[in-house]
Amino acid sequence: MTKAVRPMVGVVDYQAGNIQSIVNALDHLGAQARRVSIPEELRGLSHLVLPGVGAFGFCASRLRSSGLLDDLARWTLVDRLPLLGICVGMQLLADSSDELGHQTGLGWGGGRVRKLETDSRQIRVPHVGWNTVIFEEDFGEYRSGDSADFYFDHSYAYDAPTVAHRVAHCSHGRLFCAVIRRANVVAAQFHPEKSQSAGMQFLRSFLELRRDA
Amino acid sequence: MLKKRLIPKLLIKHRPMGRSVRPVLVTTRSFSDAQDVGDPISQAKIYEAQLADELAVLNIDGTPIAGDEVMLDLIERLAEETFMPLCVGGGVRTIEDFGTLLNRGADKVSINAAALASPQLIGDAAGRYGAQCVVVSIDFRRDEYSRWMVMRDHAALSGGRELLDWAREAVARGAGELLLCDADRDGSGGGLNWQAGQQVAAAVPVPVVLSGGCGRAEHFVEGFKLGGAEGVAAGTFFCFRDQNPMQTRAHIRNAGVPIRMET
């Protein structure tokens, strides 16, 4: 940590997937990490992570019934504090997703989520495994042009859309956004908490974000 | 581009030790002759240091995972001490088991006997958790007519399912990945059944992981290049062999297979 103050990171626990691995990874980095399952637990935090494992519809409905949405909206849109969406957590931040018809996302990250297509027996879906992510912009410890392999496990992904929000891309059949950033909202399609040292570097880079003035 | 995966298998048995029960790492030969080889957590950390792309953790006692604190605690500790993808299977029976395992740190959950008994479970789990969390594990061997037949509870059912047929059905129902294991080759070191892999891989659009029989680095290459595998899982190979894992990776890479070479 370059700053004197240790980041206090909340991991939103809305009963949709593995919180512990992210808490573990953040602990490993020297941050203070804890679960957030009620609004009061947001107090005093400097960063927030929105994980997500599961089908979009299932996660969206769990998030809606978590009682946290209003406070998450305030954190993100009013207080403009750093928020990191991971995997389905990233997709929930989109404007919309094509999973099971057409579903509306929170819209905080913008963009559209579409299914990855197989076009041959070389491109299989779900996209599972380590793939190369190419950074197009500086982000934390990454410089534009850097690349790193991260672990992916998903069938849906952001279109490579509004270039303004695309920090890094990956390719599997088509180009898709691996990392997006819209001011204080960052999101990754891969699992940094499962991507060994590459993932740690990515999480460290997120932790370098401070409050958006 | 997407790299191929080397996936160490951790085969786990429950061992009573004094007043408690501990999870112990074993290797098998044709799914029997389990030999203790040590502590799963220590071995997992070694694998992680050796660049394992993913870990497959299988409760081979097959006892129901629900309420199995020995296994669940193991998964939680693995997720605490390593930062790599975990696929967990053995004794998974219900959709609640999926949730339990995913919450403890698994990224993917593998079902075998339960899927054969109630194929509906595949679609239910994929619907809630997404296909990417649902692995259908298929053990098979040749029957007396030389057909590849699916095994259930470590025995080939007479009049049972053919491998290709079940593989197609599992995927049609929502499986996001197939894990194939040739029972006759398990622990043999004689090479993967890449022929079976090739047929299954040609028949489904999801990733296929092959397992059973790796004895040399070249076997992995066969699995990837001839067998259409996205991943190769190996138990005995990584436990006992003198193979240096980085040399194995280098051999695979030199054969033209895209694979991670550094963290």
3-state secondary structure chain B: CCCEEEEEEEEEEEEEECCEEEEEEEEEECCEEEEEEECHHHHHHHHHHCCCCCEEEEECCCCCCCCCHHHHHHHHHHHHHCCCCEEEECCCCCHHHHHHHHHHCCCEEEECHHHHHCCHHHHHHHHHHCHHHEEEEEEEEECCCCCEEEEECCEECCCCCEHHHHHHHHHHCCCCEEEEEECCCCCCCCCCCHHHHHHHHHHCCCCEEEECCCCCHHHHHHHHHCCCCCEEEECHHHHHCCCCHHHHHHHHHHCCCCECCCC
Task: Indicate the range of A82-91, A149-158, B49-58, B186-195 predicted with least confidence.
Answer: B186-195
Among the partner-chain residues A19, A126, A194, the one whose CB lies closest to the CB of B176 is: A126
**Interface contacts (A, B; CB < 8 Å):** 122
CB contact under 8 A, A130 and B2: yes
Return the SS3 of A197: helix
User: Looking at the predicted structure, is the pLDDT value of residue A2 above 80?
Assistant: no
Residue A17 CA to residue A19 CA, distance in Å, equals: 6
Kindly identify which residue of chain B lies nearest to residue A153, measuring between CA atoms. Answer: B132
Report pLDDT for A213: 38
Peptide bond into A126 cis (omega under 30): yes
A88 has a chain B CB within 8 A of its CB = yes
- Cross-chain Cβ contact B260/A149 below 8 Å: yes
Residue B2 has pLDDT above 90, yes or no: yes
Distance from CA of A110 to the nearest CA of B (A): 22
Residue A211 confidence (pLDDT): 60
Its ipTM equals 0.93
Chain B residues touching residue A132 (CB < 8 angstroms): 1
Which range (A128-142, A152-166, B31-45, B158-172) has the least confidence? Answer: A152-166
Residue A164 has a pLDDT of 62
Q: For residue B218, how far is the Cα from the chain centroid?
A: 20
Nearest CA in chain B to A15: B103
Q: Alpha-carbon distance B262 to B92, whole Å?
A: 34
Closest to B96 (Cα-Cα) out of B80, B117, B111: B111
Residue A163's φ and ψ, nearest 5 degrees, are -55, -30
Using a CB–CB cutoff of 8 Å, tell me whether A198 touches chain B: yes
Give the mean model confidence (pLDDT) for residues B141-153: 87
Distance separating alpha carbons of residues A86 and B244, to the nearest angstrom: 34
Two tokens, residue A128? 């599972």
User: For chain B, what percent of residues have pLDDT higher than 70?
Assistant: 95
Instruction: Share the mean pLDDT of chain A.
Output: 90
Q: Is 90 exceeded by the pLDDT of residue B186? A: no
Active site residues of A: 87, 191, 193
Tell which B residues from 70 to 109 touch A, by Cβ distance under 8 Å.
Answer: 76, 79-80, 83-85, 102-108
User: How much is the average pLDDT of A110-132?
Assistant: 91
Chain B touched by A121 (CB under 8 Å):
yes
Run of H or E residues at A32: strand A32-36
Neighbours of B43 (CB within 10 A): 17
Report chain A residues whose CB lies below 8 A from the CB of B3.
129-131, 149
**What average pLDDT does this structure show over B35-48?**
89
* pLDDT over 70 percentage in chain A: 94
**Window from A66-70, A161-165, B90-94 with minimum mean pLDDT:** A161-165
* Residues whose CB is less than 8 angstroms from the CB of residue A209 and which lie 6 or more positions away in sequence, other chains included: A47, A82, A140, A184, A186
CA distance B224 to chain A (A): 11
Nearest CA in chain B to A17: B103
Helix ranges (DSSP H) in chain A: 20-28, 56-64, 69-73, 88-92, 196-207
| C-alpha span between A110 and A165 (Å, rounded) | 8
